[in-house]
Structure 1
Amino acid sequence: MSWMQEFDDPYEEYDESSVRERPNPKANRPRSKHRPEHDDAVTGIVTGVDRGRYRLAVRVGESDEAVVTAARARELRKQSIVAGDRVDVVGDTTGETGSLARIVRIQPRTTVLRRSADDADLVERVIVANADVMLMVVASADPPPRAGMVDRFLVAAFDAGITPVLVMTKTDVADPEPFLANFAGLDIEVWRSSIDDPPSEALRERLAGHTTVAVGHSGVGKSTLVNAIVPSAHRAVGHVNTVTGRGRHTSSSTVSFKLGDGWIIDTPGVRSFGLGHVATASVLRSFPDLAAVAEDCPRGCTHLADEQYCELTAAAADGRLDVRRVDSMQRLLGTLVTARGLRHQE
């Protein structure tokens, strides 16, 4: 044997099997497909969202509630969590300063209030979950009321299955009745509120036990009304610009406040409300009497005022339906069709 044969051949070829790998028990452990059941999770209601942190109301005992801060679990990172959501929480749910719980499940929602960024956008944005009443706040003047905005609120409410309630503020500044005539045929519950004497006690009794979402144009007095209904809310209020006639965005976040056995959710003031995600059929289904007549319409009928063979128009003409009710419905559908840029969508 030559002296070179005593050593490894320096020219031999190496492959991957020649490299020694340092064992890593954690990395080589097979990933389990099973997730914890979290049987010890408690239920909380989302009352506010702020930069990836969620404020929850968690029941402690029979009557008390703790305010808990939580983050979402990794598996929920692609799901929206909004005010009104009922969630399952694990970890530190004491609510003590510096504590942080973890949201591991979102319970099924009963309703979802949505809007799109604009009318051309079909991507919906969830605003509030599990609300059953929509408090539409509109000023009689300063800023002037906009029937088109109320129409959009109504479309969104009917699409979500939420009961709309209209509150006219600043009735001591201007008579709201001419504006309310636009909605006479829709049987909407209407409340009137003056600046110095809002019907706070009566509204408090009306909304108790419900989850109510308050919506409105900027500057109409929505947060002022919420403060009157829930004195501990302390929501910031603003004023209307005397030059542009527009209100300032004083409420920048969606926040929930306890109201008896229910909640009232104050949302930021808006200047637009996109309806790109709503279908016309979902609005018509909210009016069973009109929907029953519309079943006799020809295929593809838009149910608009200019539709030649629409049964709704015919029924209004011969007295089978209230003309005001049909006119209001056709205006709502016209708002939606204009928003989508379509003549018909099922």
Structure 2
Amino acid sequence: MTWWNDDDVDDELDDDDWDETDIRVRPNPKANRPRTKRRPAHTDAVIGRVLGVDRGRYTVMLGEGTPDEREVLTTRARELRRDPIVTGDRARVVGDTTGDPGSLARIVGIEERTTLLRRSADDTDQVERVIVANADQMLLVVAAADPEPRPRLVDRYLIAALDAGIRPLMVVTKTDLADPTAFLSHFEGVGLDVFRSAQTQIPLESIGRALVGHTTVFVGHSGVGKSTLVNALVPAAHRATGHVNEVTGRGRHTSSSTISLRYESPEGTGWVIDTPGIRSFGLGHVDPDNILRAYGDLADVAAECPRGCTHLPDAPDCAIADAVAEGRLGASGPARLDSLQRLLTTFR
């Protein structure tokens, strides 16, 4: 038997036998790539108007008002997965922006919004549901009868509009079925422009003039004739219309999505945003101070109120109430104060 020690082994091995430089390691690009939060600048992105949203796909108009105007179908970039993209948004789009059948572009950013109309599930819910972006007018569609008008729901629409800095308008439909005068008296102090519409006579020209140059979101309870009005203003809209249930007195939801439609007339163009009928409108997100700011003359007087003044009928030493009682706010002062207090009470 032959014996040897470690020194003998070392003598027999060449130094190159211990060299590991020739070992090949399979590259892993993902593991070796340095982590970064930098995103592409997308300097080639084009900006367009979001016309509608349908199951994770967004229809965007590019080249608005130019000979190259076209609609493209888009998806959202992964980095925007937590950000709401809604009708009316101004989106930054990259990829295949030709609009050809089968093409799909990508939204990589949203331009700063001028307004944001929101609602919550109820008044205690702080989670916002974004309805539309960049609208500067809200047209409330209310029926004089069938279904009966709901003043408190209209109050909630008004509060949401005033909070968002959106000018409210109103159309009362079916005035041939009932006189809306008593209903409209609730809103004398708000300064609403009101259009009365009968089933056989819709004031399309007057309403149309109010739409030119604006982006107007149409809202209303189901069954009030909102989709019928939209179809009359934009004949190519083809929005589904329904009827009122004779047993419950409620309208059936017909418009299932929010969509932007271009209004065109000899006087000019505008944008109509039609929304599904809404039976409830939570105000958990609203700042009460925005309601008061919408009443400019009353807000100026409110600066003289004691700290924490609610401006409600039971508020002590309310400067607005004193100014109205003394006639300093003119003949419309009592109606405007009543309107403000009603809206604040609804929010409360």
Q: TM-score, normalised by structure 1?
A: 0.90
- Residue matched to 2:13: none
Deviation for aligned residue 1:325: 1.0
1:267-306 → structure 2 map (5 Å cutoff): 267-306=275-314
RMSD: 2.0
Q: Distance in 1 between matches of 2:68 and 2:248?
A: 46
Q: Is the 8 A contact 2:48 2:64 kept in 1?
A: no
- Residue matched to 1:242: 246
Tell me: CA distance 1:135–1:22, structure 2 relative to 1, closer, same or farther (3 Å): same
* Unmatched runs of 5 consecutive residues or more in structure 1: 7-18, 338-346
Q: Distance in 2 between matches of 1:306 and 1:63?
A: 61
Deviation for aligned residue 1:219: 0.7
- Residue matched to 1:44: 48
Q: Give the letter aligned to residue 345 of structure 2.
A: G
- Residue matched to 2:189: 185
- Residue matched to 1:313: 321
191, 196, 201: which is aligned to 1:197? Answer: 201
Q: Distance in 2 between matches of 1:252 and 1:79?
A: 22
216, 222, 229: which is aligned to 1:225? Answer: 229
Q: Is the 8 A contact 1:136 1:165 kept in 2?
A: yes
- Residue matched to 2:12: none
Q: Give the letter aligned to residue 335 of structure 1.
A: T
Deviation for aligned residue 1:52: 0.9
Q: Give the letter aligned to residue 228 of structure 1.
A: A
Deviations 1:105-161 (A, max 9, x none): 100000000101111101111110000000000000001111101111110011000
Deviation for aligned residue 1:2: 5.0
Q: Is the 8 A contact 1:113 1:129 kept in 2?
A: yes
Deviation for aligned residue 1:192: 0.7
Q: Distance in 2 between matches of 1:21 and 1:49?
A: 48
- Residue matched to 2:210: 206
- Residue matched to 2:335: 324
Matched, 1:262 2:270: yes
Q: Give the letter aligned to residue 149 of structure 2.
A: P
Q: Is the 8 A contact 1:46 1:54 kept in 2?
A: yes
1:77-116 → structure 2 map (5 Å cutoff): 77-116=81-120
Tell me: CA distance 1:4–1:251, structure 2 relative to 1, closer, same or farther (3 Å): farther
Q: Give the letter aligned to residue 302 of structure 2.
A: A
Q: Distance in 1 between matches of 2:99 and 2:235?
A: 23
Tell me: CA distance 1:3–1:46, structure 2 relative to 1, closer, same or farther (3 Å): farther
1:31-180 → structure 2 map (5 Å cutoff): 31-59=35-63, 62-180=66-184
Q: Is the 8 A contact 2:321 2:337 kept in 1?
A: yes
Q: Distance in 2 between matches of 1:64 and 1:132?
A: 26
Deviation for aligned residue 1:97: 1.2
Q: Give the letter aligned to residue 335 of structure 2.
A: R
Deviation for aligned residue 1:199: 1.4
Q: Distance in 2 between matches of 1:68 and 1:191?
A: 36
Matched, 1:334 2:345: yes
Q: Distance in 2 between matches of 1:205 and 1:280?
A: 32
Deviation for aligned residue 1:35: 2.2
The answer to which of 32-41 and 164-173 deviates more is 32-41
Q: Give the letter aligned to residue 125 of structure 1.
A: R
Q: Distance in 2 between matches of 1:206 and 1:60?
A: 21
- Residue matched to 2:18: none
* Unmatched runs of 5 consecutive residues or more in structure 2: 10-22
22, 28, 38: which is aligned to 2:26? Answer: 22
Q: Give the letter aligned to residue 334 of structure 2.
A: V
Deviations 1:215-254 (A, max 9, x none): 0011111111111111110000111111111111111110
Identity value in percent? 63
Tell me: CA distance 1:262–1:63, structure 2 relative to 1, closer, same or farther (3 Å): farther
Q: Is the 8 A contact 1:201 1:229 kept in 2?
A: no
The answer to which of 156-165 and 314-323 deviates more is 314-323
Q: Is the 8 A contact 1:211 1:265 kept in 2?
A: yes
